[in-house]
Structure 1
Amino acid sequence: MDHKNAICNNSYIPNTAEYMEALGPYGASVMVIGGLISVGLYVLFFEQVFFTQTNAHRIYRRHIFWIASVYPLMAALSVLSLLVPRANDICTAVKITYMSVGISHFTDLTLLMFGGEEVMLQTMAESRFNLQVGPSCCCCVCLPSPPVSKFSIRLVVMLSDQLPFTQALYHFLVLVLLSANNITIGSVSWKDASFYLYIFNMASFMSGAYALSLLTYVSKGHLEHYSYKV
């Protein structure tokens, strides 16, 4: 594609050579710094793996390994999307889906740290969920404070566990429609399928993040011996 036409085409994705040329003298520095950060995060990850394998009970390990691997993987994929700009959409899909699975693992790990659902219910017999937490309802002072019950716990877990599936579905549909050139990224027209996909994605992600906020907030003060922090 002609460089002049590429400037006017918002959907055009540059190749690696064009991207490095646009970065100019900073291109190599950005790549090196990004690579060093990724290596550093993986060093910390393997240190965490060794510590967890040595000190944590086996029922916690799988969840801890997955949660600890989120940041290094996202950093590595970010560097990859800089090196290969046209792989950015795939890298983003993998990053968000992987992070969503990590959130689900964090929810499961929280319940395990209580000793399971039944123990959590006994521990929080007098506790209530504070619905006035971010990201969606921090300004709604009229919301009630429902008691911690089996139903409310399972609802929070369900909102968290839906995240990997809905995010994977969203990114799969976006990649398929992009490959078919049937959507325009960034379009806010109700005639474009991307508009409805964005609404679906926002509802999915916000409900998952809200469930995580609810769970971490209600757990505050009960899991200090695990250094559990909000």
Structure 2
Amino acid sequence: MEENCSMLTFNTRPPNVLQHLEALGYYGWISTITFGVTTLILVALFIANVAGFIRHSPPHRRLLLCWVTSFPMIISFLALMTLLIPRAGNLCDTVKQIFMPFTMMHFVDLTLNFKGGQSAALEDLLQSNTPMSLCLPPCCCVGLCVRQLDYTKKRLRVLKSLVYQMPLVQLAIIVLIVLLTEAEVIRRDKGPDGVFLFLNVLNIVCFCLAMWAFNIITRSFAPQLTAINFLYKAQLVGLGIMLMKLQNFVLVILSVSGVVPCIAPVTSRIVLQKTIDASLTLFEAFILGILTFIEYRKLDRQNEEGPRRRQSQPK
């Protein structure tokens, strides 16, 4: 096995669709059909959500709602393409890794939109004496537990910047990895590569900072938005992205360490690593998509009930 795998280097062209399906055997065909159906279901659920947003949500909020609720569908489609077309794996994985922090960024914008914009949101935080608690995951594990820090305009901007930096940093790191790989500075086929591991650890550190700021912002506004079950909506986004990100990181480490095998003669460790990641992501995206659909359909009903309650109140 090791001798055969050594011939499948990083620069070896990935197998085509038929070669890959043959290498995976029955699992390849069954998973492609099953996850193809689940992806179509997610498309239908997203369309139903969009129709609800058009009917019940204000125009200035519709685009943000569409961005956030499209996350499971887009991720599922990209993972399905990775599973089915190995030669598109790098492209799909790049888009996926950039799209995830974009979803976090748009959810923060949606949070401020629910409060009437950044200025109105900050005013509400100050009036309610809401502290900016830094003791939240994932950075609470390193001792950042200053609980009584007051919000200011500058501090809110810093938190937003920590979330907003992630798409740009993610893109820069991925492009750098691709360039260094093509220049053969990074050789993932030769075992653990120091440069490759460093860039991935840097990626995770930047992601943890973004997730930390995301949690601080969403937890601060959660008590004021309990009517729309806001904290649960934030957890769907945050935990879903964190799971997929951590999963990808672990599988990459297992791949470069030689734990993930190859399927000789055409499927390398890297291709199989992406296949495993895509399969897990498709399952996770389907569960997340169903929960997202249910939760945001409740938002439609709450938008309908709000005006009715105001109309029923005596003048």
Scaled by the length of structure 2, what TM-score is found? 0.66
Q: Where does structure 1 lack aligned partners over 5 or more consecutive residues?
A: none
Q: What is the aligned counterpart of 1:150 among 148, 153, 156?
A: 153
Shift of 1:19: 2.5
Go from structure 1 to structure 2 and tell me whether the alpha carbon gap of 1:155 and 1:213 turns closer, same or farther (over 3 Å shift): same
Shift of 1:195: 3.3
Q: Give matches, 1:58-97, under 5 Å.
A: 58-97=59-98
Matched pairs, number: 226
2:109 counterpart letter in structure 1? D
1:207: which partner in 2?
209
Counterpart secondary structure, 2:140: coil
Residues in 2 aligned to 1:189 and 1:22: alpha-carbon distance in whole angstroms: 27
- 8 Å Cα contact 2:131-2:147 kept in structure 1: no
1:55 counterpart letter in structure 2? H
| Structure 2 residue 5 is matched with structure 1 residue 7 | yes
1:47: which partner in 2?
48
Identity across the alignment (%): 24
1:164 counterpart letter in structure 2? P
Shift of 1:4: 8.1
Residues in 1 aligned to 2:145 and 2:138: alpha-carbon distance in whole angstroms: 16
Q: What is the aligned counterpart of 2:163 among 160, 163, 167?
A: 160
Shift of 1:124: 1.4
1:82 counterpart letter in structure 2? L
- 8 Å Cα contact 1:160-1:209 kept in structure 2: yes
1:130: which partner in 2?
133
Q: Give matches, 1:20-35, under 5 Å.
A: 20-35=21-36
- 8 Å Cα contact 2:136-2:145 kept in structure 1: no
Shift of 1:140: 2.7
Shift of 1:10: 5.8
Scaled by the length of structure 1, what TM-score is found? 0.88
Map Cα deviations across residues 149-196 of structure 1 (whole Å, 9 max, x no partner).
212211111111111111111122222333333313496554x3x233
Q: What is the aligned counterpart of 1:178 among 178, 181, 189?
A: 181
Residues in 2 aligned to 1:86 and 1:13: alpha-carbon distance in whole angstroms: 8
- 8 Å Cα contact 1:89-1:175 kept in structure 2: no
1:198: which partner in 2?
200
Counterpart secondary structure, 1:221: helix
1:103 counterpart letter in structure 2? M
